[in-house]
Structure 1
Amino acid sequence: MNARNWWLMISVGLGIMLNPLNSSMVAVAIPRLQHVFGLEFTVVSWIIFSFYIGSAVAQPVMGRASDIFGRRRIFLAGLVIVFAASLLAPWSPGFGGLVVLRIIQSIGTSMVVAVGMAIIRVNITDKQASALSVLSMFTSGAAAVGPFIGGVLIHVWGWSSIFYINLPFVTASFLLAWRTIPQDKPSAALLPKQSLRQWMSRMDVPGILLFTVGLVAVLAQLLSAKSSGHVSLFNVVIGLSGLILLAVFVRHELRTAMPFIPLRTFAGYPGLIRVNVEFMLVNLLFYSVFFGLPSYLQLVRQVSEFHTGLLMLSLGLCSLAVSPIAGRWINASGPRPAQAVSAILMTVGSVWIVMLNPASPVISIILALAAFGISNGLNNVAMQAALFNNSPKEIIGVSSGLFSTSRYFGTILSSLLIGIIMGNQFSFSGFRLLGIILAVIALCLVFMSRRRSVETKGSHHSLDDR
């Protein structure tokens, strides 16, 4: 691989790491933001919701937009947007403005992520697998050290520093990308000849709006009802309206020729649907711990942001350490054994959380984090392998897009679960209840894994009988 390709990988890597870095650093910032803005826990949870909802919508949209405007333009424009949002966020006059800028930040990082891998695939043809593994190190590493970096920054310079830290990375990525990413002609250079209606149809703007407004309405009213302690007529109307919009969204996606989320394509592949459901559930489990444990440490145990970030580092490091081992294991035995072990570890970790108390030794917390970190390292590889095993080659691109969306659904549901359980204030009793719910979900995954193994053995015996 020549020097230019290495610089191209670094420029793209510095850009795509911004999404996992910004989604993970905020885990340590929740208690500080709650105190600074004087908010209830359910309200401050929107700093997490907003980023993942924005990413869930923006990534597939921007992937499609790159066909119209070109990958290089989308990548560079995304970096500019991240720079502006990160620079302005600390100056927001209120929490609502901060959430808006957080959404803009998620859109910018999604623009970069949506085309970053494609840029590498198109422009680096020699040792492509090695190039993709290098990019994976950027994203996995950023997610792993994000809470630690966030904890150190907040402890030393305050919450605004988790936004300012983006500026040098964005600048370096932009300057390198400007020089190393080749100019590309948009595949849809005939855009001026298309009408606005044709363009909106191609981007499935109605589907995007139905999905976004419906999802936000349902989430907002669930959290609002929990926070206020009662369900008003307004809550019911808005919540039902959101459900109706989501139902209309499903109907629209099944009928439109170019859907935002291709539901019709997956109707004939039950194995593919199962993989995405399981991926959503494992991310629900992982991110419930990822976002819940820092608040437990700071609000229940009175641990500083710095030491919270240091403890959370064990989660990311275990995940990083296990990933290469998981790759070799899955190559030899397939994804199912790794998925089964992962489900068992998440069950053990969830039960361990239930057993924690405000005076539990630090080693107990590290062991719980290690269980989830190892399971996450296994799942990162096993779920991707299961996706490839269950997806026909002709729709692998679409399958990968929906796979990413399933991850975001899991993270959104994790934030929703924490917000509903905690209500106005994070509490130890709520944290213990969260552990019980996670243990039940993890046990369901163990059962699903065991059932798949039995079905597979049964199918093998049937073939032998023939």
Structure 2
Amino acid sequence: MTETGRTEAAGPPPTEAITATATADVDAFGPRLMAPLLIGSVLNPVNSTMIATGLVAIGHDFGVGAAQTAWLVASLYLASAVGQPAMGRLADLLGPRRIFLCGLLLVGAAGLVGALAPGFGWLIGSRVLLGVGTSAAYPAAMALLRAQSAATGQETPRTVLGRLSLASLGSAAVGPVLGGLLTATVGWRAIFAVNVPLALIGTVLALLWLPKTRLTPADGARERTARGMLDPLGVLLFSATLTTAMIFLMNLERPNWALLPAVLVLAAALTWWQLRRARPFIDLRMLARNRALTVTYLRHGAAYLIIYMVMYGYAQWLEEGHGYSPSHAGLIMLPMSAAAAVCSLLAARTKGIYAPLVLAAVLLAAGSALLLLADDATPLAGLLLAAVLFGLPQGLFSTGNQAAVYTQAPRESVGAAAGLQRTSQYLGAITAAGLIGLFYGQRATAAGLHGIALVAGALSLAVLVLTATDRALRTRSAALT
């Protein structure tokens, strides 16, 4: 990411040069533009959650427990945490259309690897490849929308951003249902195989409908200097820091304390290197100055730590602790999808974002309190209500934080900014996977669920304080009303 007001030596981003054909449409943000973007944008969230109701079956087939299958969750999030800002940076430099297409090719290949995996290690490799491939769509979509806005002179409608949020949110919430149905009817391998046709459809639509960029001599110079602007050492240090931290978090039951100094050393090296770079992978100086954007990242990551901890932990407990089948557990999670979709649509049509985000934090706290009361005798109505209480804030946080990032980020690097938003989300998910392994061990129990609920409740209160005291959100909401 680059600082606000800073211009790159190689000239303006190629995404600003949208062809006249693409901008001649009556509706510059209509179905032809949005269809491939929406298909691409669902791939990462649906893959992140679809595995939730397949973990037990995968564990039984390969003879591993909950602590080991949690790596299937964490590996995708680690790859996505690094891949999202990297792909966003590439989209800003080389054009979002080509990065979008490259990501779809990786998704198709990852689906084949997972569907044919002969061992558990192959599944982890497939999830890493999925994380990298699916990371291209969201930042590329945000960059394309900003470019389309610049080319047409029309500001991207809030409802268009809402559609991206809804696609991501709805697919993430539907994921456990789809995963449960596929596991119960075809087998867990279908969770991976479904990516192949989705990637193929997305590729065809992107080739047909996504606007091309008009190449200029300045664009050629930009591509020749892109390697230096990508900061490969920064990417490597960032990846090493996250990987070491993830290895520590994934075994909290028997933590390897020697890893913590390694994390601190790598983080210090990353900070030192990023501050020395004119065009760093993560612009720490900009984040220090842009407090509003930094707080948005922190709020988004903390909220999704809670959401993912409950989404995965609750789904596993419904199967192992309450005795439901994968398909039934997925159906119990379905109200989360419906609630998230409704709130996403409503939030996209509101002008302010402060009140919805405060309400979302309150709902997270209420849902956490309800989970503290859940046990083997909890009736179906109570189980469904818990799913709803975590679906509502998911929709509010997704749409509200996305709108905040779109307006708070530097205009010339919105792709990288959108990628970092997802990175904050996936850092929360990686931590959530580690906490699930700590509380459940080899089997999901009511006591473990209550431990998850206690942590979720404490974090919900912290998110509430962080949101309620954010003056930038109040100022933006007042300006929009």
Normalised to the residue count of structure 1, the TM-score between the two structures is 0.86
**Does residue 169 of structure 1 match 2:201?**
no
Give runs of aligned pairs for residues 34-433 of structure 1, distance below 5 A.
34-123=59-148, 125=152, 128-129=156-157, 131-184=160-213, 185=215, 188-190=219-221, 194=225, 200-224=227-251, 226=253, 229=254, 235-328=256-349, 330-331=350-351, 334-387=352-405, 399-433=417-451
Aligned length: 444
Unmatched 5+ stretches in structure 1: 461-466
Quick check: 1:218–1:243 contact (8 Å CA) kept in 2?
no
Deviation digits for residues 304-356 of structure 1 (CA, Å, limit 9, x no counterpart) = 1111111111001101112233344x52xx33322222222111110110110
Aligned partners of 2:209, 2:320: CA distance in 1, in Å?
A: 46
Aligned partners of 1:205, 1:73: CA distance in 2, in Å?
A: 20
Quick check: 1:69–1:189 contact (8 Å CA) kept in 2?
no
Change in 2 beyond 3 A, CA 1:205/1:363: same
Aligned partners of 2:186, 2:79: CA distance in 1, in Å?
A: 27
Change in 2 beyond 3 A, CA 1:321/1:222: closer
Structure 1 residue corresponding to 2:51, chosen from 26, 37, 50: 26
Change in 2 beyond 3 A, CA 1:94/1:188: farther
Aligned partners of 1:337, 1:73: CA distance in 2, in Å?
A: 38
Per-residue deviation, 1:293: 0.7
Structure with a larger share of its residues in helix: 1
Quick check: 1:218–1:238 contact (8 Å CA) kept in 2?
yes
Change in 2 beyond 3 A, CA 1:322/1:271: same
Q: Which residue does the alignment assign to 1:438?
A: 456
Give the 3-state SS of the residue equivalent to 1:17 in structure 2: helix
Deviation digits for residues 256-312 of structure 1 (CA, Å, limit 9, x no counterpart) = 211212111121233332222222111111111111111010111111111111111
Change in 2 beyond 3 A, CA 1:77/1:382: closer
Quick check: 1:152–1:305 contact (8 Å CA) kept in 2?
yes
Give the 3-state SS of the residue equivalent to 1:344 in structure 2: helix
Aligned partners of 1:401, 1:112: CA distance in 2, in Å?
A: 10
Aligned partners of 1:98, 1:37: CA distance in 2, in Å?
A: 11
Farther-moved stretch of structure 1 (383-392 vs 336-345): 383-392
Aligned partners of 2:138, 2:413: CA distance in 1, in Å?
A: 20
Give the 3-state SS of the residue equivalent to 2:289 in structure 1: coil
Change in 2 beyond 3 A, CA 1:58/1:446: closer
Change in 2 beyond 3 A, CA 1:250/1:378: same
Aligned partners of 1:407, 1:225: CA distance in 2, in Å?
A: 20
Aligned partners of 1:93, 1:309: CA distance in 2, in Å?
A: 26
Quick check: 1:55–1:110 contact (8 Å CA) kept in 2?
yes
Quick check: 2:93–2:223 contact (8 Å CA) kept in 1?
no
Quick check: 1:347–1:439 contact (8 Å CA) kept in 2?
yes
Q: Which residue does the alignment assign to 1:464?
A: none
Give the 3-state SS of the residue equivalent to 2:136 in structure 1: helix
Per-residue deviation, 1:193: 5.2
Backbone CA RMSD of aligned residues = 2.9
Aligned partners of 2:287, 2:122: CA distance in 1, in Å?
A: 38
Aligned partners of 1:110, 1:370: CA distance in 2, in Å?
A: 28
Aligned partners of 1:99, 1:87: CA distance in 2, in Å?
A: 13
The aligned amino acid for 1:380 is S
Aligned partners of 1:360, 1:225: CA distance in 2, in Å?
A: 29
Quick check: 2:140–2:415 contact (8 Å CA) kept in 1?
no
Per-residue deviation, 1:241: 1.8
Quick check: 2:79–2:128 contact (8 Å CA) kept in 1?
yes
Deviation digits for residues 142-166 of structure 1 (CA, Å, limit 9, x no counterpart) = 2232211111111101100011112
The aligned amino acid for 1:284 is L
Higher normalized contact order (CA 8 Å, seq sep 6+, divided by chain length): 2
Deviation digits for residues 82-132 of structure 1 (CA, Å, limit 9, x no counterpart) = 111101212222211211111111111112333233334445747842554
Unmatched 5+ stretches in structure 2: 1-24
Change in 2 beyond 3 A, CA 1:285/1:164: same
Quick check: 1:314–1:369 contact (8 Å CA) kept in 2?
yes
Change in 2 beyond 3 A, CA 1:280/1:351: same
Aligned partners of 2:414, 2:162: CA distance in 1, in Å?
A: 19
Normalised to the residue count of structure 2, the TM-score between the two structures is 0.84
Quick check: 1:144–1:313 contact (8 Å CA) kept in 2?
yes
Aligned partners of 1:275, 1:119: CA distance in 2, in Å?
A: 22
Per-residue deviation, 1:401: 3.9
Q: Which residue does the alignment assign to 1:463?
A: none
Per-residue deviation, 1:66: 3.1
**Does residue 6 of structure 1 match 2:31?**
yes
Aligned partners of 1:23, 1:64: CA distance in 2, in Å?
A: 22
Q: Which residue does the alignment assign to 2:7?
A: none
Aligned partners of 1:16, 1:157: CA distance in 2, in Å?
A: 25
Task: Determine what percentage of the aligned residue pairs are the same residue.
Answer: 31
Quick check: 1:9–1:120 contact (8 Å CA) kept in 2?
no
